[in-house]
A = this chain, B = another copy of it.
């Protein structure tokens, strides 16, 4: 598990053995069974979380009781609720495992210590924050400018590795269409 994290970081920046000696003791590996929560609405999120293995979903529940999946997170991406983490406010999101998963957690205070001690790490984390923002922007554009069919085609083109791992009804939720509509769209496409 830890090796996945180390490999991920090492592809992006170079850290010394001494750096890793700082980081490693502060990492917590958490295994999640399918369906298990990493975070529940109302909790205050205290970690930075890196998914080593598996697949999670982050979603909110609206006042009608409907789940809206904001994001799928697979291995080699970061999970969590940065807003709750930064502001120490109760989270509006739930995060749970779609597959049996392994997550590497670093408590916020420890994370900040690492960032202070290792400037390269700090810089990388800012780059990653920037990348998260880019991903958000793309998600907004897809949500506001595509029809249901375009959303689906765009998704399977952009994230083929996610599309075939998540249940259809969750994919529909992510695309903000109903499972029935998704089903009909797939049907239409194959007919063409």
The residues of A with any CB-CB pair to B shorter than 8 Å are: 60, 62, 66, 68, 70, 82-83, 86, 126-127, 129-130, 132-134, 136-137, 139-141, 143-145, 176
Contacts and interface: CB of A to CB of B under 8 A. Distances in A.
How many copies of this protein are present in the complex? 2
A140 B136 contact: yes
Most buried by B among A139, A144, A145, A176: A144
Contacts of A129: 126, 129-130, 133
Nearest to A135: B136
A151 to B, nearest CB: 10
A126 B125 CA distance: 10
B82 A145 contact: no
Nearest to A62: B145
Given A82-B130, A86-B130, A129-B129, A70 B141 contact: yes
Given A126-B126, A129-B126, A134 B68 contact: no
Contacts of A68: 141, 144-145
Given A126-B129, A144-B143, A145-B176, A137 B70 contact: yes
5 contacts: A70-B137, A82-B133, A140-B143, A143-B143, A143-B144
Contacts of A60: 141, 145
A176 B147 CA distance: 11
Nearest to A130: B86
Contacts of A143: 140, 143-144, 176
Contacts of A83: 130, 133-134, 137
